[in-house]
Every structure is written in C-alpha cells, then in structure tokens.
Structure 1
Amino acid sequence: MSNYVIEKTLNNNVIICTDEDHHEVVLIGRGIGFNKKRGMKLSDSAMIDKVYKLEQKKEQDHYKALVEIADDKVLQTIIEAMDIITHADHSVADEDLMVALTDHIIFAYKRIQQQQFIKNPFLIETKQLYSESYAIAERVIEHLNRLLDIDFPEDEIGFIALHIASSKDDLSLHEVRLTNEIINKSVLIMEHDLKCRIDTASIQYQRFIRHIQFLIRRLQKGEVIQVKDEFGNMLKAHYPLCYNIAVKIIKMMQQHLDVDVYEAELIYLTLHIYHFTQQNEENMHV
C-alpha cells in the first residue's frame, strides 16, 4: 500500500500529495479531501480512485489553477468523464489527457452557460478520421449534459474527440488539427476547380481523407512509394484537370509540412480526385 503526505487540498475530491519517492501527485476520489489538512498522511487506498503524477511543474501549476476555479460538481463530472474514456480505450494516455480535457471542459462549460458557442470547422473530418475517439466523445458529452444539466453542442464532441485522438495515437493536438486543416483546404481546392460540391457523407470522401491522413504520415516519416512511369504519364494525359488539382493540393501540403513530395504521391492523389469527378457525373444523371 502506498503512503502519501498531503500538500494541499484543492476541494473535497482532489488533493495534492507527495508520494514515498517525494514526487508530487494528484489524488482523486469522492470525498478524499474532506477535513484533510496539509501534513496529514494518507494510506486509505479505498478512497483513491485515480493517481496522477504530473511530470512538469508547469503542468502541475496549471492543473491546480484549473481545479480551483471549478466547483466540486463540475470537477467530479470531469473525473467521471475521464473514467469513461480510459475504460473505453486503455491505450489513452491518462496524464497527458487529464490536464487538456479538464481545461477544455471547464472553459467550454462556462462559455455555454453564457451562450457563447465556438464553431468546429473540422467536425466532419474528425468524425471520419477518428471515428472511435468520436464515439467515446459522444458518450462523454452525453454524460456532461446529463449531470451538469447543460446542452453541449455537437461541435464540442468534435473538440473532445480531437483531444482523445491526439492522446490515443501519440500525436500532438497541433498535428491532429494540422491534418484536419490540410483536408479542409484540399476540399476547398477541389470544389473550386471542379466547380461542384464534395459529398462529405460519401464513401469516396472517407477514402480521400484516409489517403490524405496516411500521406501526411508518410511524408513526415520520409517514406517513399513507387509508381510506374507509364501509368503516371497516362493519368497526366487523360486527366489533366485532376492532375493539376493534385499539384495544387501537394504544393499546399508542402507549405504546411515543409517537406518534399514525390511524383508518385501526385499520381495516387490524381486518382482520388478523378473518382470525385466520376461521382459528380453519376449524381448529375440521377
């Protein structure tokens, strides 16, 4: 059984302690902070639901500040939301997600109480790219709405799904958002040059954004794929519009990622764009 020395009681459910190795930890449990004072020892593991060891002092200070501005009900609901996430997917990194999720939910809750809403520009892409994280986020939002008697909009499901996905896939939130931004801009380029709307509910769109996602990963890892020259020359000759759109998308990606992109990637991207033109023609004849 681990023994802890209480450093600070943040509220009835959260206390800051030092463990036996003199590391500062966050202990979470229902009623764990009730009547607790600095210097007291704690060894009743039955009261402890979660133990978080926040490595960085900046992270520790930020979490303490967040907890101090949230009332017990909100904080307990967030703790239960963390349980929903970690029980649904054991690959989620608890400590990394805890601060980010607490931060997001507290301020989103206060915003929505004041009728201030933020539009999520990457909601569709997030739902398609990170469907498992999105499904977990839906459960989190349902939990928050029910216990806090509030109505978080669907945009917030997307934001929370991004947090889960970034923790689950060992990606920074910046990388996840960058992928969504590149996909979004790619669609705008295609819609402008093809002069048609891209059906974001279609199977073709799902395939396209998956292709972009894995293309970004390949580029960041420096992986190179090959394609036969005659196949590439055939696509350029037969589908010049699609090829030119692919060139524009690749140039945009190069600017965002600061990497070189090889000819083979252009060819595969051209094929995806061509499939959108076929889909558009089919829809026109329906």
Structure 2
Amino acid sequence: MRIEKIINNNIVSALDIDGKEIIVIGRGIGFGARPGKEIAEDKVSKVYHLDNQKSMDQFKELLVNLPLEHLQVSTEIINYAKSVLNRSLNQNIYITLTDHINFAIHRFKQKIDFSNPLLSEIKTFYKEEYLIGEYAIALIERKVGVKLPVDEAGSIALHIVNAELNSAMRDTIGITNLIRDVVKLVKEHFSRELNETSLNYQQFISHLRFLSQRIVAREPSNYLDEGFSHAISKMYPYEYECSFKIRDYILETYHYQLVDEEIACLAIHIKRLGV
C-alpha cells in the first residue's frame, strides 16, 4: 500500500491492490510521511473500505480533526454489534456512528445535555440494539474516560438499527414512531397492557418492524391470497376490527393502503398476544 493523501498524523488514504481508495489508520502512520511512500505493514492497525467515493469523501472529511481514540472506540462498538447481531450493517455506520460519538463526547465535556425522546420505545422495540448501546457507553467510559448518560445508549442503538435497515435516520425514527403508535392502538382497543417480555410480543414487534419499513419506503405488498383474509376475519373478528383501526391510522398518517392480507396478518399477531 502506498500513501495517496495524509489525513492526519494517524490516518492516511491509500489505494488497495484493485486501485480502490482505502483509509488506513495506525499510531503515527502519517507523521512525517508523504504521498507515494510505502506503508509499513507493522504500522497498520485498521483498514476501512467504504462502498462509494461519496461515502469515502465524507469519511475523510470527518477524520481530519477526529481524535484517534474516538474512531477506535466507534469501530470496536460496530465490530461488537456485528458479532452480536450476526447481521450486515450499512458501511456508512462508520461515518454516522463515529460522528455521533465524537459529538456526544464533545457535548458532554461542554456540559450540554440532550435527552432522547424515543428512549422508552428504543428499549422496548430494539432490545438487542439497546443492549449494544449500553455496552457502548460502558466501553466509551473505559476507553475515553467519559461517562455518557443512558439516553446515549438509545441514540447509539438507533444508529445501529438505521444501519440494519439501510435507511436514512429520519426513516428509522419514522418507523419507530409508527411501531409505537400501532402498539398504543392495540392497547387502547383492548383496554389493557401487553406482556412485553413474551415471545409473541417480540414476534409482533418484529412483524411491525418489517411492515413499517415497507410503509416508510413505499414498497408495495406481495400478498395474493384473498381467501386467507376472509377466513381470518371470521375466526378472529375482534382482532380483525383492531387491525382495521391500524389500517385507518396508517392510511391517514402515512397515506399507505394496507391490503386485506396484511390486515389479516396483523389480526393473527394480535390474537397471539393473548389480549
């Protein structure tokens, strides 16, 4: 690997064997270096490959004045998330999460506190990701010496969800709000709380995550079995009535029309909640 550009004393850009730009980090790797110089392998601690040049340019811009330990702790959190979730994450998380953590640490040092209005929903709807967020704030305290508030566990979790869904943050927030409102509708329809620790509740939330993602992305349904919907409406009339309320809410709020089969699937999940 040969240096293409010095970003700072610890970070340089280079070209891989295919001629694609990469970001290389290592303590002191850019100090006194110059473009064209060969990079010693024993100085390299991490190499970043991003999907496109736009993302690469954004990453380089972020890294210019970024403390190395902020990048390292963010990378460790991302690696941990990948191993725990066993799912692919959009590569842009290296930009978005690193930038968020850097800003959160800066805010903390300036004694500026921001609450997370979606913290309760994140804890409930994204349990795995929230636990990763808790791991993250503990790691940041250990590595950087800054104890971020618990709200930041929720914010970090939302960045991870965003990378899982491969969507814009505003869409991820929209999905979270949609799930919250649908759950509220179910509670109000049956005038009772739901058992949030049950497997059926988690399956319901998982179904709502995929449904909400499709709604926000304006993706059409692929359900085709009309007889299925008719049968479910006869078997579970009260749950089907609740699903119709959800349909009306989604149509009014998101201007998205659920087909009969989607309404029937919601009724089945609601029935399994045992309300």
State TM-score, norm by structure 2: 0.78
For 1:24, the equivalent position in structure 2 comes to: 21
Q: CA deviation at 1:132?
A: 4.0
Partner secondary structure for residue 65 of structure 1: helix
Are 1:187 and 2:187 an aligned pair? Answer: no
Report the Cα distance in structure 1 between the residues aligned to 2:140 and 2:154, rounded to whole angstroms: 14
Residues 193, 7 of structure 1: alpha-carbon distance in 2 compared, 3 angstrom cutoff = same
Report the Cα distance in structure 2 between the residues aligned to 1:207 and 1:179, rounded to whole angstroms: 16
Structure 2 matches for 1:17-96, cutoff 5 A? 17-19=14-16, 22-33=19-30, 35-86=31-82, 88=84, 91-93=87-89, 95-96=91-92
| Partner amino acid, structure 2, of 1:250 | R
| Partner amino acid, structure 1, of 2:7 | T
Residues 25, 255 of structure 1: alpha-carbon distance in 2 compared, 3 angstrom cutoff = farther
Report the Cα distance in structure 1 between the residues aligned to 2:117 and 2:28, rounded to whole angstroms: 36
For 1:222, the equivalent position in structure 2 comes to: 221
Q: CA deviation at 1:111?
A: 2.3
Residues 139, 231 of structure 1: alpha-carbon distance in 2 compared, 3 angstrom cutoff = closer
For 2:174, the equivalent position in structure 1 comes to: 178
Are 1:206 and 2:207 an aligned pair? Answer: no
Structure 2 matches for 1:1-286, cutoff 5 A? 3-10=1-8, 12-19=9-16, 22-33=19-30, 35-86=31-82, 88=84, 91-93=87-89, 95-113=91-109, 114-121=111-118, 123-127=119-123, 129-168=125-164, 170-216=166-212, 220=219, 222-224=221-223, 226=225, 227=228, 229-236=230-237, 239=238, 242-254=239-251, 258-273=255-270, 279=275
Aligned-pair Cα RMSD in Å: 3.3
Preserved contact between residue 218 and residue 224 of structure 1 (Cα < 8 Å): no
Cα deviation, 1:249-281, whole Å, max 9, x if unaligned, reads 1233345665432223323423544566x54xx
Cα deviation, 1:216-238, whole Å, max 9, x if unaligned, reads 467735221642635413533xx
Cα deviation, 1:148-172, whole Å, max 9, x if unaligned, reads 2222233322322233334345455
Q: Structure 2: any 5+ residue segments left out of the alignment?
A: none
Partner secondary structure for residue 245 of structure 1: helix
Preserved contact between residue 81 and residue 144 of structure 1 (Cα < 8 Å): no
Report the Cα distance in structure 2 between the residues aligned to 1:161 and 1:67, rounded to whole angstroms: 22
Report the Cα distance in structure 2 between the residues aligned to 1:91 and 1:207, rounded to whole angstroms: 18
For 1:283, the equivalent position in structure 2 comes to: none
Preserved contact between residue 233 and residue 240 of structure 2 (Cα < 8 Å): no
Residues 264, 79 of structure 1: alpha-carbon distance in 2 compared, 3 angstrom cutoff = closer
Report the Cα distance in structure 2 between the residues aligned to 1:151 and 1:134, rounded to whole angstroms: 17
Cα deviation, 1:71-101, whole Å, max 9, x if unaligned, reads 3333333344344345556643473221111
Larger deviation, residues 205-214 vs 177-186: 205-214
Query: Percent same amino acid at aligned positions?
Result: 27
Residues 61, 218 of structure 1: alpha-carbon distance in 2 compared, 3 angstrom cutoff = closer
| Partner amino acid, structure 2, of 1:252 | Y
Partner secondary structure for residue 246 of structure 2: helix
Preserved contact between residue 26 and residue 51 of structure 1 (Cα < 8 Å): yes
Q: Size of the alignment, in residue pairs? A: 269
Q: CA deviation at 1:27?
A: 0.8
State TM-score, norm by structure 1: 0.75
Residues 124, 58 of structure 1: alpha-carbon distance in 2 compared, 3 angstrom cutoff = same
Tell which structure's C-alpha radius of gyration is larger: 1
Partner secondary structure for residue 92 of structure 2: helix
